[in-house]
Amino acid sequence: MFKLGDKIVDMRHFHAHIYFEPNRLESARLLSERAELSGLFGFVQLRGQPVGPHPTGMIEAHFRESAHASVLVWLEANRGDFSVLVHEDSGDDFRDHTDGARWLGEGLPLKFDFFALIQENPELRVHKPAAPARAGLKTK
Ligand SMILES: [Zn+2]
């Protein structure tokens, strides 16, 4: 976050991935609804199946830097025993999911092969670039 004139510019975007096993789908659904009601997230989606590098189904929730501290407090208060991966969406998926990743609860093994795959095939990225500034990074 930085100041541009009088305006606070909230540039950085983050994700929280809340992982759940198939037998926890109902609890995950309730948590997903609570996440939406919290008003902290700009986007919340429940995914019942593993996608991309993610090992299980998950709740994917996006938030801005200005909400970061509140989101961490909310996650610790609400995640129960679900594992949560929090990472910046910087455009560098590998860094975001390794050095840039922060776990709440038990860390789970991600499918790292996936990052090599998207190097070759960027269209397979799960997270589409959010900011127009990234349009210049397209390789094709
Ligand atoms: Zn993510």
Distance from Cα 5 to the centre of ligand 1, integer Å: 31
Q: Name the CA dihedral angle for 26, 27, 28, 31, rounded to a multiple of 10 degrees.
A: 130
Those residues of the chain that have pLDDT short of 70 are 1-10, 127-140
pLDDT confidence of residue 135 = 44
pLDDT confidence of residue 117 = 81
Distance from Cα 46 to the centre of ligand 1, integer Å: 13
Could you give the CA distance from residue 67 to residue 126 in angstroms, rounded to a whole number? Answer: 23
Alpha helix (H) residue ranges in the chain:
25-38, 68-78, 93-97, 113-120
| pTM, full prediction | 0.80
Distance from Cα 114 to the centre of ligand 1, integer Å: 13
Collapse the DSSP code of 103 into the 3-class scheme (helix H, G, I; strand E, B; otherwise coil) and give the result.
strand
Ion ligand 1 residues within 5 Å by Cβ: 15
pLDDT confidence of residue 6 = 59
pLDDT confidence of residue 112 = 84
Which amino acid is located at 21 in the chain? E
Name the CATH superfamily, with its identifier, for domain 2-123: DOPA-like domains (3.30.70.1240)
Instruction: Locate the domains of the chain by residue range.
Output: 2-123
pLDDT confidence of residue 39 = 97
Distance from Cα 2 to the centre of ligand 1, integer Å: 23
pLDDT confidence of residue 137 = 47
Q: How many CB atoms lie within 10 A of CB 44?
A: 21
